[in-house]
Structure 1
């Protein structure tokens, strides 16, 4: 089932169903597919970035990544919803790709991440077929070589860790040139997988304090605080009003 939050679609499907849908796209490549892992910051940003909003509305699949989105949906009566954290989604798909031989392309993170990521993947998924690793974190202008390389490789799982909204914009603009490729914006998941950054402990994720943990460990994330406060202001207003349009 797909519903709208402030005109942004969200797919309310059980995690196994979502995973099976993505695997079907990988097993039977046809048109390119873009998957969004939606969190509260992305939702706020879409309110002022029309290109991002159009991309979210046109996405083939929009999963629930953030605690705030999950809580908002529960407030609207969707008690059955569960988050599928981006890092967990990536691990699930890499596990399937490792077993099936489906190729994977990593794009994002700093240059120093490439070697540790390749080694980490060799340890975690020895049979994983990696067809490319390119750095590019915080690079709003995508490297032409990346697009050309993925075009040449053919259908693959393309994990773009460029940060939002750069990764969503990159995929939306260039996936049409990559038939059969499934693209996902994964934020800092590649750095976590490589071991360069520590994964948020499950306790903090389950309590909805992931944002606090990250801000303490990465003070540069304080720039996101106004947007987070705006999201929670909207959530509190929703509770007082007792509902939401859409």
Structure 2
């Protein structure tokens, strides 16, 4: 089941819902080829426009989920279809639930050691039977990567969650997923910190009206520079809508 793929300002996005993404993941897990799963949001789209390396990494990714509400709205404005949000922070727990039911092995890579361990503990409590094959902090040097890749393959990991932040995690997956024998490698940004209780996710009321970005900005004003990409993204979308 190959999803329809569209482009938002030159960045590919797959037309998926959460349920369809989980179904696609189940199909991938039943196969034998590694797949990278990357979240697409306005900030990443704008960065890719000025960063050829990131743009290439996104084009080579196997599954590109519409993570941000801005991407969903842009698709509608441009007449490219009615997308549904597939937040990466919500997809990861759904995949862990699937893994717990079917006996797949997961691995957490990227955050600080205590964050990884706490996130793994929370997931195991939430999804009884989940097999967490291991965790690894994200402060590895390139010289340590061959041994790390060998470890992942030796542990027969099925799902690898990478929490290095963007664009570092996209670069890592682009470079190393072809060497892995995992079925799914998902970039999850700061999701481990949320699971571990280090960062509070936006309350449901904010998420329901698609203002999670605003809550994050108010909670952490240091994000202001990153969030500056949002109005620039909106301008570019409207410009493309008017000028074609």
TM-score w.r.t. the length of structure 2 is: 0.90
Question: Corresponding residue for 1:65?
Answer: 67
CA contact (8 A) 1:142 1:170 kept: no
Question: Corresponding residue for 1:219?
Answer: 221
Distance 1:180 1:135 in 2: 18
SS in 2 for 1:198: coil
CA contact (8 A) 2:162 2:189 kept: yes
Distance 1:76 1:178 in 2: 37
SS in 1 for 2:185: strand
Task: Note the C-alpha offset of 1:124.
Answer: 0.5
**Larger deviation, residues 106-115 vs 84-93:** 106-115
Question: Corresponding residue for 1:19?
Answer: 22
Question: Corresponding residue for 1:108?
Answer: 110
Distance 2:141 2:71 in 1: 26
Q: 1:140 to 1:168 in 2, by over 3 A?
A: farther
Q: Which residues of 2 match residues 10-49 of structure 1 at below 5 A?
A: 10-28=13-31, 30-49=32-51
Unaligned runs of 5+ in 2: none
CA contact (8 A) 1:36 1:63 kept: yes
Q: 1:24 to 1:142 in 2, by over 3 A?
A: farther
Question: Corresponding residue for 1:230?
Answer: 232
SS in 2 for 1:93: helix
Q: 1:192 to 1:142 in 2, by over 3 A?
A: farther
SS in 2 for 1:47: helix
Distance 1:113 1:16 in 2: 28
CA RMSD, 1 decimal: 2.1
Unaligned runs of 5+ in 1: none
Alignment of 1:3 onto 2:11: no
Q: Which residues of 2 match residues 32-181 of structure 1 at below 5 A?
A: 32-78=34-80, 80-136=82-138, 143-144=144-145, 145-181=147-183
Task: Note the C-alpha offset of 1:166.
Answer: 0.5
Task: Note the C-alpha offset of 1:19.
Answer: 1.5
**Larger deviation, residues 68-77 vs 196-205:** 196-205
Distance 1:142 1:71 in 2: 42
How many equivalent pairs are there?
A: 240
Question: Corresponding residue for 1:193?
Answer: 195
Q: Deviations over 1:157-190 (max 9, x none)?
A: 0110110010111111001111343111111111
SS in 1 for 2:6: strand
Q: 1:89 to 1:140 in 2, by over 3 A?
A: farther
Task: Note the C-alpha offset of 1:143.
Answer: 4.8
Distance 2:207 2:19 in 1: 20
